[in-house]
Structure 1
């Protein structure tokens, strides 16, 4: 087959040549190999399908053409987008009605960081770390210790789970008194404990009432 003359102006200046192309033709006779190389470049630069390939050349071309064609489509799409962007820039931005032109850059403040939010005291820097430190060359960090919430935080959260200020105060007093523990274990998630409190409110209130009565009697005896 005859290659396109180099004096002609190609429709594109570049294309992606993959290793699979070379691998497909590496064991061909030199004449067939050259013919397929010319077929690839003529198709990529001028969009011309080859003719006159040998049977082995046609077989290789059937394997190469789909991937080459997909690569050219991606290249043309990127090039066209770049040209449109340059045109919009000359005209002062994106075209009228383009929703992207109306978007404002998002401002990131320290409060947006969940680690800086006082309501997120249980955020871990690394949830799956080993407290011994370094394992396998990677530095591990200790799990952040539980920090008891303030009464105002508790009240705010109880409003989101249909609780009242009284419920929040009872919950806060109860767990403050026992060191924020459930049994012998420190609480890991006070919000989960709050939801459990609301589900078993009558049971907890009865327990709290018994404790208050017991403390009152001890004081009277003194």
Structure 2
């Protein structure tokens, strides 16, 4: 597989949301460096890589691990400045990329939003055992024509989960009052 095919494959995965722009940036640089040096595998200092990409070592490790898991690269950690990390740019394994794509696609709702019924909301809240009043949720968004701020709602289940999270936050932040104490004003 030539470099253009690898670049195209990386762009397609970025467009699908399988890899982030940061992972794509790292992969593009490694591909560029491999072509520039004319060797595969090749050595590249972690310090130089971080400086070129403007990231820290932890960010580099996260992005490198993701690319490795997808089969875009393999690498061996460097041990010193005299023995820097070694990278091998390789063809992504189709089965791993396909599995990752499926997970990403199922995590995001489709672009067409269907207004749920009260029964749908009730069933979802019951399934999650979240204590959210389905009627209140349904009425709230029905009155707003299923808008969230200025944007049309895209995923009502995510909105229910947000209500759950906000409810937990309110309970956590709620001040604790001792109503048994009586204060006398002078």
Larger Rg: 1
The structure where strand makes up a greater share of residues is 2
Q: TM-score, normalised by structure 1?
A: 0.26
Q: Which fold has the larger relative contact order, with Cα–Cα distance below 8 Å and residues 6 or more apart in sequence? A: 2
- TM-score, normalised to structure 2, is 0.30
